[in-house]
A and B are shown apart, each in its own frame.
Chain A
Amino acid sequence: MKKFYDLHLSVPLDNSDLTEKMIRKAKTLGYAGLGVSFSPSVLGETLSRLRQLCKYVDIDLVTRVDLEPNSSKELLLQLRRCRRRFELISIACWHKPVARQAAKDRRVDLIYFSSLDFRRRFFDSAEAELSANALAALEIDMSPLLLTTSYERIRLLSYLRREVALAKKFSIPVILSSGVSSEFFMRGPRDLAALAYLFDVPSDVAFKYLSENPLKIVTRNRTKLSSTYIAPGLRVIRTGENCVE
């Protein structure tokens, strides 16, 4: 059975009842894992409280930080600060230089673009080519599809169709996530896959975007953040006196 991950959920960390409700709902909807957005300055206490809650509900918590830098220099600084603290680094590409830097930096896991300001959707073939040589995946939040109507939704769908086709051409992994901050707009993985039909993603591919691709990123990052990891293909398997056999 597929393990579905929703890597973008904004829970109100100051309201523990609502947080629990949203996490329980995610479990009911069929998610095995949940990426919760934290601010870079989140306290360790909040993190451990949420981790405990997720363990109790039996859902895998993925810690995620959303960075919104204004320049590529600021992006590099924030990446240096956050990379070792969070399992997932996501960059909001509101500016072109930031988008280009994020696409080529191997510390970046996800890049996403403005849903409604279409001039700031910088995912063109140059961006895709840079992403293809690094590790960044394209994240598509589905909540704007629920929140917009008429002309805005038409334009959004047309952009998404073009971007998904570009990602496919350059073999860039795509992630579908809910991107919601309200319990009411939460949708199950099958519902999100059904919505992806609107921008020409067949359901089997949409399921891959919701399970295989996110799981691959999370597993890769957890391996890198573990204490035994040294470099790609190199890890500590034994320490202490019994190292020599």
Chain B
Amino acid sequence: MNRRRYLALKIEPTQEVNESDLENAFLGSVSRLFGEYGVSKAGLVLLSHDPVKNCAVLRCTSASLDMVKASLASITNVGSKPAAVHILGVSGTLKSLRGKFLYH
């Protein structure tokens, strides 16, 4: 069984970004570095995005965690606007991720 990992992210945009741009940026970055095969293995799902706090929760498979982390760190644009993505933390459950990284 392929385990899941949840990533808490801090988006650092210069302007406001919308959810679909963010999702495209994540997929595009993994695709550029690891190709379509990599994207298919990563199982990326954007679970939530808070545009006020600029935080997001992303789900991926545990086998592709390193790939996803490298791809997220290499993002420099979200929807043609300059932006950076910082990983706040990784967890095995959504509950512990929210407790540890998002409600502080």
On A, residues with C-beta under 8 Å from B are 29, 145-147, 149-150, 184-188, 190-192, 194-195, 197-198, 203
Contact among A149, A150, A184, A194 for B73, CB-based, below 8 A: A194
Q: How many residues of B contact A (CB 8 A)?
A: 15
Give me 4 other A-B pairs in contact (C-beta within 8 A), A29-B86, A185-B84, A197-B69 excluded: A149-B32, A188-B87, A194-B69, A195-B70
Q: Cβ of B67 < 8 Å from any Cβ of A? A: yes
Q: Are A194 and B84 also in contact (CB < 8 A) when A146-B76, A149-B32, A185-B76 are?
A: no
Check if A184 sits within 8 Å of B84, measured CB to CB: yes
Cα–Cα distance between A187 and B69 once the two chains are bound (Å): 12
Cα–Cα distance between A147 and B87 once the two chains are bound (Å): 19
Chain B min CB distance to A139 (Å)? 19
Q: Are A190 and B87 also in contact (CB < 8 A) when A146-B74, A185-B76, A195-B74 are?
A: yes
Check if B70 sits within 8 Å of A187, measured CB to CB: no
CB-based nearest B residue for A154:
B33
Cα–Cα distance between A198 and B73 once the two chains are bound (Å): 11
Report chain A residues within 8 Å CB of B32: 149-150
Q: Are A191 and B76 also in contact (CB < 8 A) when A149-B32, A198-B33 are?
A: no
Check if B66 sits within 8 Å of A191, measured CB to CB: no
Q: Cβ of B72 < 8 Å from any Cβ of A? A: yes
Report chain A residues within 8 Å CB of B69: 191, 194, 197
Check if B82 sits within 8 Å of A191, measured CB to CB: no
Sample of 19 A–B contacts (CB below 8 Å): A146-B76, A184-B76, A184-B84, A188-B87, A190-B87, A191-B72, A191-B73, A191-B87, A194-B69, A194-B70, A194-B73, A195-B73, A197-B67, A197-B69, A197-B70, A198-B33, A198-B70, A198-B74, A203-B66
Report chain B residues within 8 Å CB of A198: 33, 70, 74
Cα–Cα distance between A197 and B67 once the two chains are bound (Å): 8
Chain A min CB distance to B5 (Å)? 13
Check if B67 sits within 8 Å of A187, measured CB to CB: no
Contact among A150, A186, A194 for B87, CB-based, below 8 A: A194
Check if B67 sits within 8 Å of A184, measured CB to CB: no
Report chain A residues within 8 Å CB of B70: 194-195, 197-198
